A and B are shown apart, each in its own frame.
Chain A
Amino acid sequence: MGAEFVQFSLTPILIGILASIACALPGNFLVLRKQALIGDAISHVVLPGIVVAFLVTGSVAAIPMLLGAAGAAIVAVILIEAIKRLGKIEPGAAMGVAFTSLFAGGVLLLEQSDTSNVHLDVEHALMGNLESLIWFKADGWASLWDPVALAALPDELLRIAVVCLLVIVLTVIFWRPLKISTFDESFAQSLGLPVGAIGFGLVVTAAVAAVAAFDAVGSIIVIAMFICPPAAARLMTNRLEAQVAWSILFATLSAILGYVFAGYGPLWFGAQNAVSAAGMIAAVSGVILALACLFGPYRSRVGVGREEVA
C-alpha cells in the first residue's frame, strides 16, 4: 500500500466507486419501477452521442463529448416514450427498437468519419479504460496534501465526483416524491405531484450518471451498476432506506474487489497481465447478486421469505 498504490490504483478505485454509486442510486428506483432496462438503453446510445459531438466540434475534449452523450440519452428516452405512446408498443420492445437503431447509427457514423487518428472507438466505449486513469504526479500518500500533485489528478475523477454528489443531492431532495410516486402513482397524482416530470427527471438523472460513469469506466459497468447492486440490495431488506444503503455498499464492494481482482488476480494465477477492470467489476457485482439470490434473507416473494413473526 505504498507509493505505487497511490499512483496507479488509488484514482481508478475511487473513480470506480464513485461511478458505481452514481449509477446504483437511481438504479434502486429504476429497478422498483420495473424500468431496469432503461439503463441498458441509455448506455447503448452514449456511443452515437459522442460520435455526433465529435463530428460537430471536431475535438475529443471531454465536455462536448459528455454533452453529446447526455443529449443522445435524452433523445433516446424521448424516442422510447414516443414509440411507446404513439405506436402503443410495450416498453421492452420500444426500447429495443430505439437503442439498437441509435447504436447502429453511431457505429455507421464512426466508420464513415475520419476518427482513425483520435482515440474514439467502440471497444473503448464498451469497456472503458479504468486502468489508464492513473495519478501520474503522485509519489505516495503525502501527495494527498500536495497541491501540485492534486492539480494533476485525472479530470475524470473530478467529473465523476461532481456527478456523484449531484445524484446524491437529488436523491435526498426528491426522496419523498420519488418514493410515493414509485409506490403508488395514482395516489401521487391525487396529491398533485407531477408524476410524469418525476419519472422523466429520474431517467435524466440516470442518464447523466451513466454518461459521466461511461466516460471513465465504459458502458458495461454502467448497466451492471444500475441493476446488480440495487437488485441484490432488494433481497437483503424490506425497507427502501435500507435497500439504498445496501446498494451503495454493494456498489462500493464491487468496485474495489473488481479492480483488485482485475489488477492482481492474474498475478496470483501466475499470469503477467491484468484483465479488464470494468469487466471484472461487472462480474463481481454479478457474484454478489448471485449470492443474494441464493442466500438473501428477503430473496423470495411475499410469504416465502424468512420474516420475523410478530
Chain B
Amino acid sequence: MDAFVQALFLGAGYNAALVGIGAALLGFAAGASGTFLFLRKRALVSDAVAHATLPGVGLAFIIMVALGLDGRSLVGLLAGSAVTAGIGLILVEWMSRKTRLSEDAAIGAVLSVFFGIGIVLLTIIQTMSQGRQAGLEGFLLGSTAGMLFQDAVVIAIGGTLAVAATFLLRRPMTLVAFDPEYAAASGYDVRKIDLAMMGLVMAVTVIGLKLVGLILIVAMLIIPAVTARFWTEKSDTVVWSAGILGAASGYVGAAISASAPALPTGPIIVLVSASLFTFSLFFAPARGVAAAVIRRQRFQARVHLRQGLLALARQEPIHDKLTLKVLGRDGLIRPDGVATDAGRAMAAKVARDERRWDVAREVHHDVSLTGRYDGLTPIEDVFTPDEIAQFDKVIGKPTAVEGT
C-alpha cells in the first residue's frame, strides 16, 4: 500500500513518474478522442488501427537494421507503426465504400490480416542476429519494465501533443459526432473532420503502443467514452468526462503497476477503467441498470394501474394478474376483485379525464398537446385548470344514474 501511495505522488522514481504523467495524458487524449469514435458508432475501427500497427513496427525494425541504425529506436518504430496503421485505416474505408462488405467485416479482415503479417515479420526478425533482443513482442501488451528514459519522454511529449490536438479540434469534432447533418449544413467538411478524428485516434494508438500494447489500447479509447455516456447526455460533458476518466485510469493504473512486481501497466490501466465502467453500468443515476430496473417496474405498475382503473370505469372484467395485484396493493379493489369506494372514485376520475381528453381533442388540434393522449400523461400536465374547467362545461354536469 505504501508503495502505491508513493507511486501515486510520483515518488517511485523518475521513470515511473514520467510514465504516470504520460499515462494520464495519454488516457485523457484517448478518452476524449475515443468519445468521438464511440458517438460516430465506429468504436471498433480503433481495433483495426491498433492491430494494423504491428507490421509497421516489424518493417521499421528491419529497415532500420538494414540501414545500420539501432532497430530499437522508439521513434522509428512508432513512425513505422503509424504508416501501416494509416494503410489499414484506408483499407477499411475503401472496402466498406467500394465493395458490398459492411464496415464490421472490413474491420475484422484488416485487423486479422495485418496482425498475421505482423506476426510473420516478427518471426523473420527473430531469425535475424540483431532480432533476438529486439523485444518487439512488448508492443503486443506494452511493457514499461526496463523502459528507457527517452522512451518515457516520448510518451509524455506524445501525450501532451495529443491532448493539445484534442483541445484544438474539440468544437468541430463534437459537432460532427453528435449531428453530422447539422455540421455539414453549417459549412463544416464532415469528411475532413472525420479524417482528423481518425488521425487523432491513430496518434493515440501509436503513442500508447509501448505503454499498454496494441491489443489493449482499444480499451483506453472505448471504455472511458462508454462510461461517461452513463452519466450525462450533454456532448461537451461526455467528451471531457471521458477524458478525465481516461486520465484517472491511466494515472492510477500506472501508479498501481509501479507499486509492485508482476502488475503489468497496460492490463492494470484497463482494469481500473473497466471497474469504473462496471460501477457506472449499475449505479449511474440517469442511465444505470439499477435506476432503469426501478423505473421500468414503476412504469409497468403505472400502466397496469391505469388500465385497471379504465376497466373498472367501464365495468369490464379484469383478468390480468399483474393488474389485479397493482389495484389490490393500492387498496382499489377487494381480494374478490370488486372495486372499493376508493377504487370507484379513482375510476370515476379516470373516466372523467378520458371524457375531458375527448373534448380536448375536439377543441385543440395542436398535436403537441393532443399528441400526449397516450393513456398515461395526466391531463393536468397538459392543460391549465381553466382549460380543464372549460372541458367540464362541455361535458356537462354529472347526471345521477338510476340504480346507483
State the A residues within 8 Å of B (CB).
31, 34-37, 39-40, 44, 83, 86-90, 92-97, 100-101, 103-105, 107-108, 111-112, 122-123, 126-127, 220-221, 223-224, 226-228, 231, 234-235, 262, 266, 271-276, 278-283, 285-286, 289, 293, 296, 298-302, 305
Query: What residues of chain B lie closer than 8 Å to A96, measured between beta carbons?
Result: 43-44, 46-47, 218-219, 221-223, 226
State the B residues within 8 Å of A (CB).
38, 41-44, 46-47, 95, 98-102, 104-105, 107-109, 111-120, 122-124, 127, 137, 140-141, 215-216, 218-219, 221-223, 225-226, 229-230, 262-264, 266-268, 270-271, 273-274, 277, 281, 287, 289, 292
21 contacts between A and B (CB under 8 A): A34-B102, A36-B107, A36-B108, A37-B104, A86-B281, A92-B41, A94-B226, A95-B44, A100-B218, A111-B264, A220-B116, A220-B119, A235-B99, A272-B127, A273-B127, A281-B116, A282-B116, A286-B112, A286-B116, A293-B98, A299-B98
**Does B218 contact A87, Cβ atoms closer than 8 Å?**
no
Query: What residues of chain A lie closer than 8 Å to B46, measured between beta carbons?
Result: 96
Query: What residues of chain A lie closer than 8 Å to B223, measured between beta carbons?
Result: 96-97, 100-101
**Does B216 contact A87, Cβ atoms closer than 8 Å?**
no
Query: What residues of chain A lie closer than 8 Å to B44, measured between beta carbons?
Result: 37, 40, 92-93, 95-96
**Does A279 contact B123, Cβ atoms closer than 8 Å?**
yes
**Does B127 contact A36, Cβ atoms closer than 8 Å?**
no
**Does B100 contact A298, Cβ atoms closer than 8 Å?**
yes
Question: In the complex, which of the residues A35, A282, A298 contacts B104, with contact meaning CB atoms closer than 8 Å?
Answer: A35
Report the minimum CB–CB distance from A154 to chain B (whole Å): 21
Main secondary structure on A side of the interface with B:
helix
Report the minimum CB–CB distance from B31 to chain A (whole Å): 13
Beyond the given A90-B38, A224-B113, please list 18 additional residue pairs across the A-B interface where CB-CB is below 8 A.
Answer: A37-B47, A96-B44, A100-B274, A103-B216, A104-B274, A107-B266, A108-B267, A122-B140, A227-B109, A231-B105, A273-B123, A276-B120, A279-B120, A281-B116, A283-B117, A283-B120, A285-B116, A300-B100
Query: What residues of chain A lie closer than 8 Å to B117, measured between beta carbons?
Result: 279, 282-283, 286
Name B262's closest neighbour in chain A (CB-CB).
Answer: A111
Question: In the complex, which of the residues A88, A90, A122 contacts B287, with contact meaning CB atoms closer than 8 Å?
Answer: A88
CA gap between A234 and B101 in the complex, in Å: 8
Most chain A beta-carbon contacts within 10 A, residue among B43, B47, B119: B119
Name A35's closest neighbour in chain B (CB-CB).
Answer: B104
**Does A92 contact B104, Cβ atoms closer than 8 Å?**
yes
Report the minimum CB–CB distance from B291 to chain A (whole Å): 11
Knowing A108-B271, A275-B124, say if A93 contacts B100 (CB, 8 Å): no
Query: What residues of chain B lie closer than 8 Å to A231, measured between beta carbons?
Result: 101, 105, 109
**Does A301 contact B100, Cβ atoms closer than 8 Å?**
yes
Report the minimum CB–CB distance from B400 to chain A (whole Å): 50
**Does A101 contact B225, Cβ atoms closer than 8 Å?**
no
Question: In the complex, which of the residues A101, A266, A280, A299 contacts B116, with contact meaning CB atoms closer than 8 Å?
Answer: A280
**Does A235 contact B100, Cβ atoms closer than 8 Å?**
yes
Query: What residues of chain B lie closer than 8 Å to A111, measured between beta carbons?
Result: 262-264, 267
Query: What residues of chain B lie closer than 8 Å to A279, measured between beta carbons?
Result: 115-120, 122-123
Question: In the complex, which of the residues B104, B112, B123 contacts A223, with contact meaning CB atoms closer than 8 Å?
Answer: B112
Query: What residues of chain B lie closer than 8 Å to A101, measured between beta carbons?
Result: 219, 223, 270-271, 273-274, 277
CA gap between A223 and B98 in the complex, in Å: 22
Report the minimum CB–CB distance from B383 to chain A (whole Å): 33
Report the minimum CB–CB distance from A230 to chain B (whole Å): 8
Query: What residues of chain A lie closer than 8 Å to B274, measured between beta carbons?
Result: 97, 100-101, 104
Report the minimum CB–CB distance from B213 to chain A (whole Å): 9
Question: In the complex, which of the residues A31, A37, A108 contacts B263, with contact meaning CB atoms closer than 8 Å?
Answer: A108
Question: In the complex, which of the residues A35, A89, A92 contacts B42, with contact meaning CB atoms closer than 8 Å?
Answer: A92
Question: In the complex, which of the residues A35, A122, A278, A285 contacts B141, with contact meaning CB atoms closer than 8 Å?
Answer: A122
Report the minimum CB–CB distance from A134 to chain B (whole Å): 18
Query: What residues of chain B lie closer than 8 Å to A123, measured between beta carbons?
Result: 137, 140
Report the minimum CB–CB distance from B173 to chain A (whole Å): 17
CA gap between A62 and B47 in the complex, in Å: 30
Query: What residues of chain B lie closer than 8 Å to A36, measured between beta carbons?
Result: 102, 104-105, 107-108
Name B282's closest neighbour in chain A (CB-CB).
Answer: A86
**Does B109 contact A228, Cβ atoms closer than 8 Å?**
yes
CA gap between A305 and B261 in the complex, in Å: 58
Name B119's closest neighbour in chain A (CB-CB).
Answer: A279
CA gap between A105 and B268 in the complex, in Å: 8
Report the minimum CB–CB distance from A287 to chain B (whole Å): 8
**Does B116 contact A289, Cβ atoms closer than 8 Å?**
no
Among all A-B residue pairs, the 6 with the closest Cβ atoms: A282-B116, A286-B113, A279-B119, A100-B219, A104-B270, A224-B112
CA gap between A103 and B222 in the complex, in Å: 14
Knowing A35-B104, A235-B99, say if A286 contacts B109 (CB, 8 Å): yes
Query: What residues of chain B lie closer than 8 Å to A266, measured between beta carbons?
Result: 124
Report the minimum CB–CB distance from A280 to chain B (whole Å): 5
Report the minimum CB–CB distance from B223 to chain A (whole Å): 5
CA gap between A87 and B230 in the complex, in Å: 8
Most chain B beta-carbon contacts within 10 A, residue among A36, A100, A235, A299: A100
**Does A40 contact B111, Cβ atoms closer than 8 Å?**
yes
Knowing A87-B281, A100-B215, say if A282 contacts B112 (CB, 8 Å): yes
Query: What residues of chain B lie closer than 8 Å to A34, measured between beta carbons?
Result: 102, 104-105
Query: What residues of chain A lie closer than 8 Å to B99, measured between beta carbons?
Result: 235, 293, 296, 299-301
CA gap between A280 and B113 in the complex, in Å: 9
**Does A104 contact B271, Cβ atoms closer than 8 Å?**
yes
Report the minimum CB–CB distance from B85 to chain A (whole Å): 16
Query: What residues of chain A lie closer than 8 Å to B104, measured between beta carbons?
Result: 34-37, 92
CA gap between A44 and B267 in the complex, in Å: 13
Query: What residues of chain A lie closer than 8 Å to B127, measured between beta carbons?
Result: 271-273
Name B107's closest neighbour in chain A (CB-CB).
Answer: A37
**Does B43 contact A92, Cβ atoms closer than 8 Å?**
yes
**Does B267 contact A104, Cβ atoms closer than 8 Å?**
yes
Query: What residues of chain A lie closer than 8 Å to B222, measured between beta carbons?
Result: 93, 96-97, 100
Query: What residues of chain A lie closer than 8 Å to B112, measured between beta carbons?
Result: 40, 220, 223-224, 227-228, 282, 285-286
Query: What residues of chain B lie closer than 8 Å to A126, measured between beta carbons?
Result: 119, 140
Report the minimum CB–CB distance from A132 to chain B (whole Å): 13
Name B253's closest neighbour in chain A (CB-CB).
Answer: A104
Query: What residues of chain B lie closer than 8 Å to A93, measured between beta carbons?
Result: 38, 41, 43-44, 222, 225-226
**Does B119 contact A278, Cβ atoms closer than 8 Å?**
yes
